[in-house]
Amino acid sequence: MNAYSPCSLTIVIPTFNRPDKAQRALEYWTGRGFKILMLDGSENPIDLSQRVRSDPDIAYKHMPEPLSQRLGYAARTICTDYATLCGDDDFLLLSALRQCTQFLDQHAEYVACGGQALAFCRSMTGQPRAFFRYERFRNLDVSAVSGRDRAISYFSTLTPATIYSVCRSPLWSRGMGLWSEKEFPIYAIGELQFEFFMAYNGKIRRLPVLHWLRSHEIAHGKHQRLAKSDVSLSKALLMPELWNSAVLAPLRSEMIGYTAAQIAMASNMPQEQVATDFHDAITAYLSGLKSTKGRTGLTMGARIRQKLAKRLNRLPLPFWVRVYLLRRQRVECNDADVNAVLACLQ
């Protein structure tokens, strides 16, 4: 096993027109020892504090370009062993990042590793509150032998688990390159391409450790301000419409062909096989969405219990109450890391 160094990991933080959140993120990461690459697509650059400017591990780049192009820049420039993506308003816990990189050091067959998530918001008085998020991360271990089997089983109940995981940098860069080199006008297609690429190339694991604090401080749709320049962030065309439309068949074929060609080169697989596997994975994903929305096979009582449990899980409670409940589920939570985040939210 390699000796752990935080500088073996680059944390990529895109931001756009949110200088307060961007500066909060930079202050949080300053002095932590991790490589930070913030890519700012805003019209005007941020006036960084002296503390941030003096940290040699922090690189801030003002790039008033679409998100796909900024991530393409990151894909071309990262030189650490591992990479991960982080929202400008989210927080990653330091101890969990260390455990994820150590897991990947010890398990060569895995390409991505993350932990568990809590979401946070603020009460009417401004106090931070937390609730459960991404419950499908619990015990997630995408470990089938073949790339096809991993991708289809993963996509059948997909909650994107790799794009915010610690990933092996060569694969992270190639996966991001799918999006940055050719962007299709299909909502969130870059994320789906990335998730398929990673599952196709190796195993994925989510450890029982609190890793990601997901911000719900701003209403849903917060990233749609980028939609005028980022065609894949516009909800004008959703995947179910693309998949079921005869009129859109040429665009569907072009997207599948391009994705398969790029992945085939990286995976040493026949392009036709990759195209079939990618098509089948997306089909499984859409079938899973339909099944979830319809709650297929559930009795009325089971539906009511499921809906009630979901509402209780999404009920904002004081941070330490949610941490306690997470520990009851045998998820490791580092108190010092949680306190460091809470200090930033004051």
| Predicted local confidence at residue 295, as pLDDT | 54
Instruction: Report the relative pairing of strands 82-85 and 128-132 from DSSP bridges.
Output: unpaired
Other C-beta atoms closer than 10 Å to the C-beta of 23 total: 18
User: What is the DSSP-derived secondary structure letter of residue 218?
Assistant: S
SS3 of residue 344 by DSSP: helix
CATH number of 6-296+316-344: 3.90.550.10
Residue 209: its H or E element: strand 203-215
DSSP-assigned states of every residue in 126-178: S-EEEEE--GGGTT-EE--SSHHHHHHHHHHT----STTSEEEHHHHHHHHHH
Question: Please, what sign has the CA dihedral across residues 106, 206, 289, 249?
Answer: negative
| Predicted local confidence at residue 278, as pLDDT | 98
Average pLDDT for residues 211-229, to the nearest whole number? Answer: 68
Other C-beta atoms closer than 10 Å to the C-beta of 245 total: 12
The answer, yes or no, to whether residue 220 has pLDDT greater than 60, is: no
With a pLDDT cut of 90, the percent of the chain lying above it is 81
User: What is the DSSP-derived secondary structure letter of residue 182?
Assistant: S
Cα–Cα nearest to 274, from 287, 262, 260: 260
Environment class of residue 343 by beta-carbon count within 10 Å: exposed (0-12), middle (13-18) or buried (19+)?
Answer: exposed
Half-sphere exposure of 205 (CA within 13 A, CB side): 20
The answer, yes or no, to whether residue 308 has pLDDT greater than 50, is: yes
Q: What is the pLDDT of residues 265-287, one digit of tens each?
A: 988 899 999 999 999 999 999 99
Give the Å distances, CA to CA, from 197 to 31, 69, 278: 33, 19, 9
Tokens, residue 168: 């092996």
Cα–Cα nearest to 282, from 247, 318, 253: 253
Half-sphere exposure of 237 (CA within 13 A, CB side): 15
Show me where the domains of the chain are located: 6-296+316-344
The answer, yes or no, to whether residue 223 has pLDDT greater than 60, is: no
Query: Average pLDDT of the chain?
Result: 91
Q: What is the pLDDT of residues 61-113, one digit of tens each?
A: 999 999 999 999 999 999 999 999 999 999 999 999 999 999 999 999 999 99
> What are the phi and psi torsion angles at 298 (to 5°)?
-90, 140
Euclidean distance between CA atoms 57 and 28, whole angstroms? 13
Per DSSP (E only), the strands in 35-126 are: 35-40, 58-62, 82-85, 91-92, 110-122
Euclidean distance between CA atoms 247 and 267, whole angstroms? 31
Amino acid letter at 29?
W
pTM of the model: 0.92
Q: Is pLDDT larger for residue 304 or for residue 64? A: 64
Tokens, residue 89: 């308003």
Question: Please, what sign has the CA dihedral across residues 246, 247, 253, 259?
Answer: negative
